[in-house]
Chains A and B, each alone.
Chain A
Amino acid sequence: MLAPVEIDVATLRRMAALGGFAWTDAELESLRPTVERLLEMLERLEAVPIDELEPTTQYRVL
């Protein structure tokens, strides 16, 4: 079981700014629980044994 991901508004602000987005602290605060949940879920993917698999988008196109 991984520890819950915690992220503060200042970090969110810096990450958003890297993408060119200037969102208010109130907007970022309301987003924070959703981002924390997603990052926690994504951290769990690190435990999936898939290192030998190449990333794919849609490999079926023939």
Chain B
Amino acid sequence: MSELIWASMADLGRMIATKEASPVEVVRAHLDRIAALDAKLRAFITVCADAALQAARAAEADLMAGKVVGPLHGVPWAPKDLYSTKGIRTTGGSKILADSVPRADATVVARLGAAGAIVLGKLNMHEFAYGPEGLNAHYGDARNPWDPGAHRITGGSSSGSGAAVAAGLAPGSLGSDTGGSIRIPASLCGITGLKPTYGRVSRAGVLPLAWSMDHVGPMTRTARDCALILHAIAGYDPADPTTSVLPVPDYTKALTGDMTGLRVGLLRAHFTDVAAADVRAAVEAAAKQLERAGAIVDEVNLAQVIHVAAASSAIVASEALAYHAAWMRSRAQDYQPDVRERLRVGAFVSGTHYLRAQQVRALVSREVDEALAKRDVLLAPATPIPATILGERQTTLGDGKSDVRSALIRLTRPFNFSGHPACAAPCGFTGSGLPIGLQIVGRPFDEATVLRVVDAYQRLTDWHTRRPPSA
């Protein structure tokens, strides 16, 4: 049983294809795990036990008949509850959409379905994805499985995805990332989460937070599993006009383990240097490890990121309120208080502020491009702090005091702003046993190199194989 719970998606797919395990066994093992642990972790908003078992039986019949559709055939997963799922309610973590049942799947849900993957249920999240802590007043706050007392945040907004994947309730998930909502819970929960390049993966059928900052991507326990999911979901979609027509490579082919000659820039000022001491030490140690494996590591600064907080706040506040305007006029009392307050701020951002922010966006993107012109990837912490206690408001960073919310998004948001691909993965633990996450940032549409570096690092270390105490 434990073997099925902790196997990677790649291994589960192989075990199923070779009839070492049946999809029904695998799905049942995860449903049992959810039944045992989810009351404490609150990772799921909806569990689809009957539908998942039915899909598993169908997959088993196909496999017995020799019809194998690919490496994810029969493998379970669970999306954040903002992906439209045909016939399964899609709440966005809200009261407003508590009974909303889509008539069609989001493009990426349909693509994973076509690849044979099986939905276990829908995962908890910060209401409407508007918060990095992962809080939810309607369905309960997801709890970080690394805290034995379950008093710490998972990070968000893809909070249920972080908790479920870390605790073995699901081997993989799709999160969404507007300011770090894939990478923050990945960092705080000790898993691997990839925010692809803007335009690499379709957002059609995914509830938006801010159209120009939203990204869709995988959350798993390994870089290889991220590669498998990305290959299944990436590519042009006529339903999302921002998707690229660039061909989708087989990302697993890039996972060679070879770091020889790869140029890695360690982001210093505004990134590594502002992190808490144990986070900084873990990321610096990761840089050394990559160097020993053959990478050429230097240090780099991105001076323009000091403007990101103001500019991205203006963009997200404007776009989020534009989407929610009708509900904010008629049902404002149905939002949880922190989300309602953030949405209201959008009413006070002018058109000139918004466009100035978009000019700053061009400036920051250009600077990241210049840093990557001389390097293959950039390295930084994913979050400057580990998981905080629920309700904790203030923290201390290397450059002074900060509110927790700003600290959590500080190192991830620049790459939502610029659109570059970025992956978070575990690189150590604090003295009190909480995961620390690094972040690898790559050139536009070069997710292959980003995943290659994370995979090579995971071959050299065992951080990603550690299991939380509740497991």
Contacts and interface: CB of A to CB of B under 8 A. Distances in A.
B356 A38 contact: no
Contacts of B349: 38, 42
Nearest to B353: A42
What bracket does the count of chain A residues touching chain B fall in? 20 to 34
B2 to A, nearest CB: 43
Contacts of A39: 348
Nearest to A7: B348
Given A20-B325, A38-B310, A60-B198, A45 B344 contact: no
Given A60-B199, A61-B242, A31 B359 contact: no
Interface string B351-364: 00101111111110
Nearest to B304: A48
Nearest to A32: B348
Contacts of A48: 307, 360, 363
B358 A42 contact: no
B251 to A, nearest CB: 18
A41 B363 CA distance: 17
A42 B317 CA distance: 13
A42 B310 contact: yes
B419 interface: yes
B309 interface: yes
B336 interface: no
Contacts of B222: none
Interface string A20-43: 111100010011001100110110
A41 B358 contact: no
A19 B325 contact: yes
A16 B346 CA distance: 9
B211 to A, nearest CB: 8
A50 interface: yes
B359 A12 contact: no
Given A38-B310, A50-B363, A61 B358 contact: no
Interface of A: 12, 15-16, 19-23, 27, 30-31, 34-35, 38-39, 41-42, 44-46, 48, 50, 53-62
Given A45-B310, A60-B244, 16 more contacts: A12-B348, A16-B347, A21-B329, A22-B329, A23-B344, A38-B313, A41-B309, A42-B310, A42-B314, A45-B357, A53-B363, A55-B356, A58-B198, A58-B199, A61-B242, A61-B243
19 contacts: A19-B325, A21-B329, A21-B344, A30-B341, A31-B344, A35-B345, A41-B313, A42-B314, A42-B349, A42-B353, A45-B356, A48-B307, A50-B359, A56-B359, A56-B361, A59-B362, A61-B244, A62-B246, A62-B445
Interface of B: 197-199, 212, 242-246, 307, 309-311, 313-314, 317, 321, 325, 328-329, 332, 341, 344-345, 347-349, 353, 355-363, 365, 419, 444-445
